[in-house]
Amino acid sequence: MISLAEAAKRLGVSVQRVQQMVAERKLPVETFGNQLVLDSHLFARLSRRPTGRPVSARNAWALLAIISGDRPTFVDRSKLSRLRRLARDRQQVLDALRYSQPRSRVLRYDFFPAQLSQLSELLPLRTGLAAELRELHLEEGGNLLDAYVSEGTLSDIDRRFHPALNVARPNVQLRVPSEPWVLEHGVSPPVVAADLLDDPDPRVVRAAEAVF
């Protein structure tokens, strides 16, 4: 086990940034006495990053489109050729998607239970464990309603429900993608799996990796 201060030192960031990553569920923590600590082995996997610049969000979406059997029209021909070559190497695909620039703006909310059934009808583009993807071979889904939305839908939801934003224990997570491809073509299995590559549960991560 390692402390948040030690995690910050190893990552080269402030303790406040590590606390933010914990709040965003990017780093899993446990309580040890009156301290929050991280599993050292899981932390080592999550903090292992390849050298070089991360893949841009646009290229990450294009890569997912290629893996999903589509031809992305939002990248030029030279990038398309390079991404097709990358798509042939599973480990490079996993590294590119796991460490890319953020593909979406992610917002976490706490909705009243009575609102969830109404909200569910507005969110057909489920991802993560909420997608209940057969290819993951997981017996149960999560309790978090996780979905892609457009900026327009997000505004409508805010006006209609006025949910609490950025809570420590959200029951809804909405993703506004940087590219509209996923909104137009649907959430394919590779997209769902990519969204689970940073899940704090190693079992979920292994299942997501197996999709590629």
- DSSP annotation string for 12-78: TS-HHHHHHHHHTTSS--EEETTEEEE-HHHHHHHT---SSPPPPHHHHHHHHHHHTT---SSS-HH
Nearest CA among 80, 48, 78, 41 for reference residue 62? 80
What integer pLDDT is reported at residue 69 of this predicted model?
Answer: 97
What integer pLDDT is reported at residue 130 of this predicted model?
Answer: 94
Sheet holding 35-38, edge to edge: 2-3, 35-38, 30-32
Helices first, then strands: H and E counts in the chain: 11, 7
Query: Which two tokens mark 210?
Result: 């197996």
Half-sphere exposure of 14 (CA within 13 A, CB side): 3
What integer pLDDT is reported at residue 86 of this predicted model?
Answer: 97
Query: Which two tokens mark 49?
Result: 């990053």
Q: How many CB atoms lie within 10 A of CB 38?
A: 25
Strand, coil or helix: 99: coil
C-alpha dist (Å) from residue 211 to 93, 110, 137 = 11, 30, 10
Residue carrying structure tokens 């978090």: 144
Q: Are 198 and 98 in contact (CB under 8 A)?
A: yes
What integer pLDDT is reported at residue 181 of this predicted model?
Answer: 98
pTM of the model: 0.78
What integer pLDDT is reported at residue 35 of this predicted model?
Answer: 74
pLDDT along the chain (212 residues), means of 10: 79 77 68 69 60 87 98 96 97 93 92 93 94 84 89 96 84 96 97 92 91 96
